[in-house]
Structure 1
Amino acid sequence: MDEKLSEFFKLFSNVLRLKILKILADHEQNVSDLVTATGYSQSNISQQLKMLKQADIVSSHKHGKQVFYVLKDDHIRSIIALATTHLEEKL
């Protein structure tokens, strides 16, 4: 379990993945919206989304020709909020 937990927390260690997760914590987005929101390239966004999907943290669904991404459950939202609160208390 420690190995799985370590791999899980590594997903939060990349700035772009963390930005994506924080954006998806608010509402679902497509790749174009994530490119606009983060300023990163489409290929970079897609690469990070692939990792998050493989880790079963993010899911996707099609609406017409567009693919939308969303957090799979509220646990990720809670983890980000708790970590943010912890860091804000240290300031």
Structure 2
Amino acid sequence: MKTLQEVTRLLREHQEVLAQKYGVTVVGVFGSYVRGEERAESDLDLLVEFLRPVSLLELVGAELYLSEVLGVKVDLVPRRSLRPELREVILSQAVPV
């Protein structure tokens, strides 16, 4: 299992591919990895923004690509899709990439 520091380093290294191939940029990590509560079965929650209109296929492709790179199931959460009641909590705990 990778540490939060390893995850953010790998995300920075792959930002260009994500932007060019999938139109996605990862802006932060949140959830169990940030709270130090990750376990072997935990997924990795990533806050993303779109650089252009992105299809569902591209979004799923980006999730699969990152899951392979990071060795953990990834859940991409578009910043603009955050539910109002969770927005403040997620944005306050997100670790920038």
Identify the TM-score tier after normalising by the shorter chain.
0.3 to 0.5
TM-score, with length taken from structure 2? 0.35
- Greater share of strand residues, 1 or 2? 2
- Greater share of helix residues, 1 or 2? 1
